[in-house]
């Protein structure tokens, strides 16, 4: 019995590109030290150099969480498509 080969879903999708950008942005922002190596503007007495990095701790957690939600949602959709095409069971 010959089975028709299932149509492959694209590996690179817009959602995956967005996830990659969300995960790479904190690295770029924090590795580009010249962009924040200054004392001003101070925030409640804390120099910019320190509060900028602490802000990125929160932003990184939010961006990672968003990337996780987007990626898992897309994976569920892709699995449903494979099942609907008869390529995979369960």
With DSSP H G I counted as helix, E B as strand and the rest as coil, what are the percentages for the chain, rounded to 5? Answer: 65, 0, 35
pLDDT score recorded for residue 4 = 56
pLDDT class for 1, splitting at 50, 70, 90?
A: very low
Average pLDDT value for residue range 30-45: 88
Q: Looking at per-residue confidence, does 31 or 8 come out higher?
A: 31
Is the model more confident about 43 or about 67? Answer: 67
Give 18's pLDDT tier (boundaries 50, 70, 90).
Answer: very high
Domain residue spans of the chain: 30-78
Please state the length of the chain: 90
Tokens of 81: 């498509």
Q: Within 10 A of 67 (CB to CB), how many other CB atoms are there?
A: 19
């Amino acid at each position: 019995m010959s089975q028709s080969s299932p149509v492959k879903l694209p590996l690179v999708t817009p959602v995956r590109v967005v996830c990659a950008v969300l995960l790479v942005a904190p690295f770029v922002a924090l590795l580009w030290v010249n962009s924040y190596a200054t004392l001003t503007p101070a925030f409640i007495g804390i120099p910019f150099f320190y509060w900028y990095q602490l802000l990125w701790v929160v932003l990184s957690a939010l961006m990672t969480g968003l990337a996780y939600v987007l990626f898992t949602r897309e994976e569920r959709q892709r699995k449903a498509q494979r099942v609907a095409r008869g390529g995979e069971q369960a």
